[in-house]
Amino acid sequence: MNRSYSLKRHKEFRFTYRVGKHTGGRLFALVFAKNRLRKLQVGLSASKKLGGSVQRNRAKRRIRACLHPLLPNIRTGYNLVVVLREGVLTEPFPSLMREMENQLKRAGLWVEKP
């Protein structure tokens, strides 16, 4: 997952939260909104509730790792913000993948590809 696919500015986050739709879950929540670009932009949000900077960085790394193999299946032209909850730190990785797939399908961002 290249850097150019990431949401950067505070403005872009604010746009996504204001316009977007939400799906919730035990481990994380998705917020997504259509953008004018052709590509997908992803932002990760980890609050201080998760712990210190070590815990926050670790949570974001795990989510990036589980998002990476799913990238070809995600509809392009959207801003996607993943809000992390505390379970991300302790959940086993395969169930993290399943949860991500389910939420993407519920959000309607899932595209079946061979």
Site for RNA in 21-50 (CB under 7 A): 43-45
User: Which one of residues 54, 112, 113, 114 is an interface residue with RNA (CB under 7 A)?
Assistant: 54
User: Which one of residues 36, 38, 72, 93 is an interface residue with RNA (CB under 7 A)?
Assistant: 93
Count the residues in the chain: 114
3-state secondary structure of 46: coil
Beta carbon of residue 55, minimum distance to RNA (angstroms, whole number): 7
Percentage helix, strand, coil for the chain under 3-state DSSP, each rounded to 5: 50, 20, 30
For residue 61, state whether it binds RNA (rule: CB under 7 A): yes
Structure tokens at 65: 């790792």
- Give me the residues paired with residue 34 across strands: 78
Residue located via tokens 């809000």: 83
What is the spatial distance between Cα 12 and Cα 43, in angstroms, rounded to a whole number?
9
- Closest CB to RNA among 69 and 108? 69
Contact range with RNA by CB under 7 A, out of 23-31, 32-40, 65-73, 105-113: 65-73
Residues in touch with RNA (CB under 7 A): 1-4, 6-10, 13, 43-45, 52-54, 57-58, 60-62, 65-66, 68-69, 92-93
